[in-house]
Structure 1
Amino acid sequence: MFFFLILLMLVSLGIQQRLRSKFKKYAQVGLQSGLTGAQIAGRMLADHGITDVRVESTTGSLTDHYNPATKTVNLSEGVYAERSAAAAAVAAHECGHAVQHATAYSMLAFRSAMVPALSAVSRFMPMLLLAGVLMLRFSIIPLGLGIVLFALTTLFSFVTLPVEFDASRRALAWMDQRGVVTVQEHAMAKDALWWAAMTYVVAAISSLATLLYYATIFMRRR
């Protein structure tokens, strides 16, 4: 199991590098429509009748996200003002989350409901797991509690998958319907979003593998 975790870590690093390479490549492909990421986001929101969500610029690279609490589509500087296939893909994807929120998409609501609990758990879960392993000779309770808390993070990772895939599906369908990208640009956007989705897939599998690793240690001690 330990070597499998190492393999997953290497695969994750490879996918992340591939993702950066794809976005760098597609960021150099200018859109024939001449629309910026912010303009594409604005159009997609308007087309879905969403008027209470703001499109804002945020610092960093690949820091794009939708915040349901503040109802803001936050686009990184490389997406907000850029006119590229990569910017179109990211902007539309994040707006896909806004559409999910507006239409009460159940998996997004479930994931959002988990966030407060996970924020609290993440503060002390690593220490609890470490302490559980170190104290295993004396008591299995700390490790058992750590495993239960880690299971919540694993569940969150898997709940995230349909949310991300659905947002990409909505983004690609809208771009195809509205014609904001050419056929070639659409293919690039789809490819970029696919690699982005793979990072979530590997993260979920890695989380499950780690959970099973700790569970194996726990069961052997019992």
Structure 2
Amino acid sequence: MGNYLIYLGLIILIPIWAQLKVKGTYNKYSKVPSSSRMTGAEVARRILDDNGLYHIHVEITKGYLSDHYDPRTKVVRLSSTNYHGHSLAATAVSAHEVGHAIQDQQDYAFFRFRHSLVPVANIGSNLSWVFIMIGIFAQVSGLLLLGIILMLGAVLFQVVTLPVEFNASNRAMDQVVSLGIISNSEERETKKVLNAAALTYVAAAAVAVLELVRLILIFTGMSRDD
């Protein structure tokens, strides 16, 4: 029971800690204006054009930190605060999303792999727990195993997301530095924003792997009892 409470605490606290870290860092640097005074939309457009991605549009999207790149429609979508903002946070987030557009253009292997996993991950996320819960409560190891197999797709998606996000952040830093969008004195703060954002993906992957391991242990115990 004690070990389970520790595990439960971890899967609850890790994502909360990551979200607090992201919001705290973002809110702090959203109040720090960049020396270039460029808006997030201008930063995104500048990097896109410099990489020959004239066909990719930059649009506003609703929500808080809802920024993303859509590879299907070839659009970089920025939340209103980042689209209009002149802050270091807006610069970092906008450049990061354009980093994904550059990955798309250059056929970055992990980006392509993650994109191909989307339907598998969606199916796994939606169906796996049905079989897992029935398998555990009915003590049917075969159903539990089926749920674990379905869950593997979702877990793999979370793990593959890590190199995709870190690579996009590295590309973002290279672009804002080489194009003079930020000064040398702003590099450290910009990296802090990018690193904090990456924590959400690290936390999600860690929780997914922990849950998968727990279920595998339950399955092996159930199989021994059979």
Do both proteins adopt the same fold according to a TM-score greater than 0.5, normalized to the shorter chain? yes
Give the corresponding residue for 2:69.
66
Number of residue pairs matched? 220
Distance in 2, Cα, partners of 1:118 & 1:7:
23
Distance in 1, Cα, partners of 2:135 & 2:83:
45
Distance in 1, Cα, partners of 2:218 & 2:44:
48
5+ long unaligned stretches in structure 2: none
1:184 partnered with 2:189: no
| C-alpha RMSD of matched pairs (Å) | 1.2
Asked whether the 8 Å contact 2:123–2:150 carries over to 1, the reply is no
Aligned pair partner of 2:33 in 30, 33, 37: 30
Paired amino acid for 2:52: G
Summarize the alignment of residues 71-90 of structure 1 with structure 2, pairs less than 5 Å apart.
Answer: 71-90=74-93
Distance in 2, Cα, partners of 1:51 & 1:68:
15
Summarize the alignment of residues 37-56 of structure 1 with structure 2, pairs less than 5 Å apart.
Answer: 37-56=40-59
Asked whether the 8 Å contact 1:158–1:204 carries over to 2, the reply is yes
Paired amino acid for 1:141: G
Question: How far did residue 118 of structure 1 move?
Answer: 1.8
Offset from partner CA, 1:74-133 (integer Å, 9 cap, x none): 101110110100000000000000000000000000000011222233222222221121
Question: How far did residue 51 of structure 1 move?
Answer: 1.8
**Structure 2-normalised TM-score?**
0.94
Summarize the alignment of residues 96-135 of structure 1 with structure 2, pairs less than 5 Å apart.
Answer: 96-135=99-138
Identity %: 37
Distance in 1, Cα, partners of 2:77 & 2:136:
40
Q: What is the SS of the residue equivalent to 2:72?
A: coil
Give the corresponding residue for 1:212.
213
Distance in 2, Cα, partners of 1:53 & 1:206:
34
5+ long unaligned stretches in structure 1: none
**Structure 1-normalised TM-score?**
0.95
Question: How far did residue 7 of structure 1 move?
Answer: 1.8
Question: How far did residue 201 of structure 1 move?
Answer: 1.2
Paired amino acid for 2:124: V
Deviating 4+ runs (over 4 angstroms): none
